[in-house]
């Protein structure tokens, strides 16, 4: 865990090859940090939690690890929470050269009120999706064929881009669905 780091930018050693066996990382309450390190380079990272970074406004290619053929090779769980200025997620959607999140199972995004745009559709192995207090996010639930658990809370304006009037019906793998304070 890296907590209360006071700098505006993380050091490059965080994603250094010497940490290739690091399986869990939490970046917490680094209030002045403006960007994230290239954590996608860590081949053994299974659990990643990022929250309380008040100045991060964009998560882009630098986070996934530029010049990587496989980003987040072992990542199973990813959690973003309390990122009040985070407004843009650039997940390299169009990059056919990059394989992302091949082992991914769970994504949680909580209290990111400025986040605008679409969830990446490259999360084909995603099984659990939790979204809370992200009012401007667009999700295409039908893009996640392995989704088993879906929880959406406090996302009054969350939009689902889908051909069906009931996108939940298109994901036949769903076993648990929870909507709270949500406009259908």
pLDDT digits (tens, 9 = 90+) for 18-75: 777 889 999 999 999 999 888 888 888 899 999 999 999 998 877 877 666 677 888 8
Q: pLDDT tens-digit profile of 162-177?
A: 444 555 566 788 888 8
d(CA 77, CA 79): 7
**What does the pLDDT read at residue 127?**
92
Count of CB atoms within 10 A of residue 127's CB? Answer: 18
**What does the pLDDT read at residue 163?**
44
- Beta-ladder partners of 21: none
| Stretch 83-106: mean pLDDT | 74
Secondary structure class of 148 (helix, strand, coil): coil
Q: Give the N- to C-terminal CA distance of the chain in Å, as an integer.
A: 38
**What does the pLDDT read at residue 11?**
80
**What does the pLDDT read at residue 174?**
86
**What does the pLDDT read at residue 166?**
52
Beta strands 117-118 and 137-139 are parallel
Percent of the chain scoring above 70 in pLDDT: 81
Q: pLDDT tens-digit profile of 68-79?
A: 667 788 889 999
The pair of structure tokens assigned to 160 is: 């689902």
DSSP 5: -
CA angle, corner 136, sides to 131 and 139, nearest 5?
Answer: 55
Higher pLDDT, 44 or 179: 44
Q: How confident is the model at residue 158 (pLDDT cuts 50, 70, 90)?
A: low
pLDDT over threshold 60, residue 142: yes
For residues 167 and 160, the answer to whether their CB atoms sit within 8 Å is yes
């Amino acid at each position: 865990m890296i907590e209360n780091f006071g700098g505006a930018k993380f050091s490059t050693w965080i994603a250094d090859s010497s940490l290739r066996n690091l399986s869990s990382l939490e970046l917490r309450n680094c209030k002045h940090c403006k960007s994230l390190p290239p954590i996608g380079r860590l081949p053994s990272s299974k659990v990643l939690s990022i929250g309380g970074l008040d100045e991060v406004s964009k998560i882009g290619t630098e986070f996934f690890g530029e010049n990587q053929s496989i980003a987040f090779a072992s990542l199973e769980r990813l959690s973003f929470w309390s990122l009040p200025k985070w407004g843009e997620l650039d997940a390299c959607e169009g990059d056919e050269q990059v394989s992302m999140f091949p082992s991914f199972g769970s994504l949680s995004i909580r209290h990111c009120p400025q986040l605008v745009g679409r969830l990446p559709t490259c999360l084909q192995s995603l099984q659990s999706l939790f979204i809370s207090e992200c009012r401007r996010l667009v999700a295409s639930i039908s893009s996640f064929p392995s989704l088993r658990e879906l929880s959406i809370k406090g996302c009054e304006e969350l939009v689902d881009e889908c051909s069906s009037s009931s996108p939940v019906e298109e994901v036949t793998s769903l076993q648990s669905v929870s909507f709270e304070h949500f406009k259908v």
